[in-house]
Structure 1
Amino acid sequence: MKSLVLAEKPSVARDIARVLDCHKNMPGAIEGSKYIVTWALGHLVTLADPEEYDKKFKEWNMSYLPMLPERWELMVIKQTSKQYHNVKTQLFRKDVSDIIIATDAGREGELVARWILDKSGCHKPIKRLWISSVTDKAIREGFLSLKDGRQYNNLYYAAKSRAEADWLVGINATRALTCKYNAQLSCGRVQTPTLAIIARREEEIRSFKPEEYYGLSCVAGNVKWSWQNEKNGSLRSFKRSFITDLESSLKGQALQITDVQKSARKTFSPGLYDLTELQRDANRRFGFSAKETLNIMQRLYEQHKVLTYPRTDSRYIGSDIVPTIKERLKACNIGPYKKFIPSLLKAPIKTSKAFVDDAKVSDHHAIIPTEEFVQLEHMSNDERKIYDLVIRRFISILYPAFEYEQTTLKASAAGQAFTAKGKIILSPGWKAIYDSSSAADSSFLDAPEEDDASWQSCEQPLPLLKKGEQLSISQIALTTGKTKPPARFTEATLLTAMENPVKYMESQDAKARKMLGETGGLGTVATRADIIEKLFHSFLIEKKGNEILITSKGKQLLELVPEDLKKPELTAKWELELSNIAKGAHKDAQFLAEIQDYTKELIQEIKTADGTFRHDNLTNTKCPRCGKRMLAVNGKNARLLVCQDRECGYRETIARLSNARCPNCHKKMEIIKKGEEETFVCACGYKEKLSAFKKRREKEGAGVSKKDVQNYLKKQKEEPINNAFANALANIKIDT
Structure 2
Amino acid sequence: MVFQMGKTLVIAEKPSVGRDLSSALEGVFQRRKLEDVVPKRTRKKTAEEAVDEATTKPSRSRAREDVHFLESDDYVITWAVGHLVQLADPEEYDEKWKRWRMADLPIVPPDGFKLVPRDAKSKKQLKLIEALLKREDVDRIINACDAGREGELIFAYLYESVFGVSPSNGGPKPVDRLWISSMTKQAIREGFEKLRPGDQLQNLEMAARSRSEADWLVGMNATRAATIRGRAWVGGVVSLGRVQTPTLAMIVKREREIQAFVAEPYRLVHGTFDPRYAGMWFEGDETRIFGALERAEEIVAKVLGKDGVVESVERKEQSERAPLLYDLTSLQRDANRRYGFSARRTLQAAQSLYEGKKAITYPRTSSRFLSGDMVPQLKPTAETLRPIKEYRAGAEYVLALDQLPLARVVNDAKVDDHHAIIPTDIDHDVDDFTPDERRVFDLVARRFLAVFHPPARYARTTVITLVEEERFRTRGKVTLEPGWRSVYGLEADAEKQSEDEESEGGEIPALEQGQTVRCVEATYEDKMTRPPPRYSEATPRRSRR
TM-score by length of 1: 0.64
Deviations 1:495-554 (A, max 9, x none): 22222xxxxxxxxxxxxxxxxxxxxxxxxxxxxxxxxxxxxxxxxxxxxxxxxxxxxxxx
The residue that corresponds to 1:357 in the other structure is 411
What is the CA–CA distance in structure 1 between the aligned matches of 2:479 and 2:214, rounded to whole Å?
55
Q: Which amino acid aligns with 1:186?
A: S
Aligned pair partner of 2:71 in 7, 31, 36:
31
Indicate whether 1:319 and 2:372 are aligned: yes
The residue that corresponds to 1:65 in the other structure is 105
What is the CA–CA distance in structure 2 between the aligned matches of 1:250 and 1:180, rounded to whole Å?
65
Contact 1:272 1:355 (8 Å CA) reproduced: yes
The residue that corresponds to 2:500 in the other structure is 453
**Cα displacement (A) at 1:230:** 5.0
The residue that corresponds to 2:118 in the other structure is 77
Indicate whether 1:493 and 2:539 are aligned: yes
The residue that corresponds to 1:40 in the other structure is 80
The residue that corresponds to 2:14 in the other structure is 9
Unaligned runs of 5+ in 2: 1-5, 34-67, 164-170
Aligned pair partner of 1:186 in 212, 235, 239:
239
The residue that corresponds to 1:196 in the other structure is 249
Contact 1:246 1:414 (8 Å CA) reproduced: no
Q: Which amino acid aligns with 1:158?
A: A
**Cα displacement (A) at 1:303:** 0.9
Deviations 1:119-172 (A, max 9, x none): 011631111111111211211111111111111122212211221222122112
Indicate whether 1:370 and 2:424 are aligned: yes
What is the CA–CA distance in structure 2 between the aligned matches of 1:62 and 1:156, rounded to whole Å?
33
Contact 1:305 1:370 (8 Å CA) reproduced: yes
Contact 2:143 2:175 (8 Å CA) reproduced: yes
Contact 1:226 1:457 (8 Å CA) reproduced: no
Give the alignment of 1:419-498 within 5 angstroms.
419-436=473-490, 441-443=491-493, 446-447=495-496, 451=498, 453-454=500-501, 456-498=502-544
What is the CA–CA distance in structure 2 between the aligned matches of 1:287 and 1:494, rounded to whole Å?
15
Deviations 1:325-370 (A, max 9, x none): 1111122323322232123212224224323222222211111111
**Cα displacement (A) at 1:241:** 3.8
Aligned pair partner of 2:215 in 166, 177, 196:
166
What is the CA–CA distance in structure 2 between the aligned matches of 1:419 and 1:163, rounded to whole Å?
56
Give the alignment of 1:716-735 within 5 angstroms.
none
What is the CA–CA distance in structure 1 between the aligned matches of 2:469 and 2:496, rounded to whole Å?
34
- Secondary structure at the counterpart of residue 179 of structure 1: helix
Q: Which amino acid aligns with 2:313?
A: V
Distance 1:460 1:332, change over 3 A: closer
**Cα displacement (A) at 1:195:** 0.4
Q: Which amino acid aligns with 2:77?
A: V
**Cα displacement (A) at 1:228:** 4.1
What is the CA–CA distance in structure 2 between the aligned matches of 1:256 and 1:467, rounded to whole Å?
8
Q: Which amino acid aligns with 1:491?
A: E
**Cα displacement (A) at 1:201:** 0.4
Aligned pair partner of 1:114 in 145, 148, 156:
156
Q: Which amino acid aligns with 1:256?
A: V
- Secondary structure at the counterpart of residue 475 of structure 2: strand
What is the CA–CA distance in structure 2 between the aligned matches of 1:144 and 1:29, rounded to whole Å?
22
The residue that corresponds to 2:146 in the other structure is 104
What is the CA–CA distance in structure 2 between the aligned matches of 1:341 and 1:214, rounded to whole Å?
48
What is the CA–CA distance in structure 2 between the aligned matches of 1:151 and 1:26, rounded to whole Å?
32
Contact 1:101 1:128 (8 Å CA) reproduced: yes
The residue that corresponds to 1:235 in the other structure is 287
Distance 1:477 1:447, change over 3 A: same
Q: Which amino acid aligns with 2:139?
A: S
**Cα displacement (A) at 1:227:** 4.1
TM-score by length of 2: 0.85
Q: Which amino acid aligns with 2:288?
A: R
Distance 1:418 1:176, change over 3 A: closer
Contact 2:478 2:506 (8 Å CA) reproduced: no
Distance 1:88 1:227, change over 3 A: same
Contact 2:319 2:456 (8 Å CA) reproduced: yes
- Secondary structure at the counterpart of residue 214 of structure 2: helix
What is the CA–CA distance in structure 1 between the aligned matches of 2:495 and 2:272, rounded to whole Å?
28
The residue that corresponds to 2:396 in the other structure is 342
Identity of aligned residues (%): 40
Contact 2:289 2:296 (8 Å CA) reproduced: yes
Contact 1:212 1:481 (8 Å CA) reproduced: yes
The residue that corresponds to 2:44 in the other structure is none
What is the CA–CA distance in structure 2 between the aligned matches of 1:228 and 1:46, rounded to whole Å?
63
Give every structure 1 segment of 4 or more consecutive aligned residues whose post-TM-superposition deviation is greater than 4 Å.
none
- Secondary structure at the counterpart of residue 373 of structure 2: coil
**Cα displacement (A) at 1:40:** 0.7
What is the CA–CA distance in structure 2 between the aligned matches of 1:33 and 1:478, rounded to whole Å?
82
Deviations 1:470-507 (A, max 9, x none): 112211112232221110112122322222xxxxxxxx
What is the CA–CA distance in structure 2 between the aligned matches of 1:257 and 1:40, rounded to whole Å?
72
What is the CA–CA distance in structure 2 between the aligned matches of 1:334 and 1:205, rounded to whole Å?
49
What is the CA–CA distance in structure 1 between the aligned matches of 2:191 and 2:106, rounded to whole Å?
45
What is the CA–CA distance in structure 2 between the aligned matches of 1:227 and 1:343, rounded to whole Å?
41
- Secondary structure at the counterpart of residue 226 of structure 1: strand
Give the alignment of 1:391-406 within 5 angstroms.
391-406=445-460
Contact 1:7 1:101 (8 Å CA) reproduced: yes
What is the CA–CA distance in structure 1 between the aligned matches of 2:296 and 2:88, rounded to whole Å?
70
Aligned pair partner of 1:221 in 269, 274, 292:
274
Contact 1:226 1:235 (8 Å CA) reproduced: no
Deviations 1:649-683 (A, max 9, x none): xxxxxxxxxxxxxxxxxxxxxxxxxxxxxxxxxxx
Indicate whether 1:267 and 2:313 are aligned: no
**Cα displacement (A) at 1:306:** 0.8
What is the CA–CA distance in structure 1 between the aligned matches of 2:346 and 2:424, rounded to whole Å?
18
Aligned pair partner of 2:199 in 125, 144, 150:
150
**Cα displacement (A) at 1:220:** 1.4
Indicate whether 1:127 and 2:173 are aligned: no
Distance 1:257 1:446, change over 3 A: closer
Distance 1:470 1:170, change over 3 A: same
Unaligned runs of 5+ in 1: 500-736
What is the CA–CA distance in structure 1 between the aligned matches of 2:457 and 2:176, rounded to whole Å?
50
Higher RCO, 1 vs 2 (CA within 8 Å, ≥6 residues apart):
2
Q: Which amino acid aligns with 1:430?
A: W
The residue that corresponds to 2:36 in the other structure is none
Q: Which amino acid aligns with 1:119?
A: S
Give the alignment of 1:687-726 within 5 angstroms.
none
**Cα displacement (A) at 1:60:** 3.5
Q: Which amino acid aligns with 1:54?
A: D
In angstroms, what is the RMSD of aligned CA positions? 2.0
Indicate whether 1:384 and 2:438 are aligned: yes
The residue that corresponds to 2:132 in the other structure is 90
Count residues in correspondence.
Answer: 490
Contact 2:10 2:141 (8 Å CA) reproduced: yes
Contact 1:217 1:224 (8 Å CA) reproduced: no
**Cα displacement (A) at 1:181:** 2.8
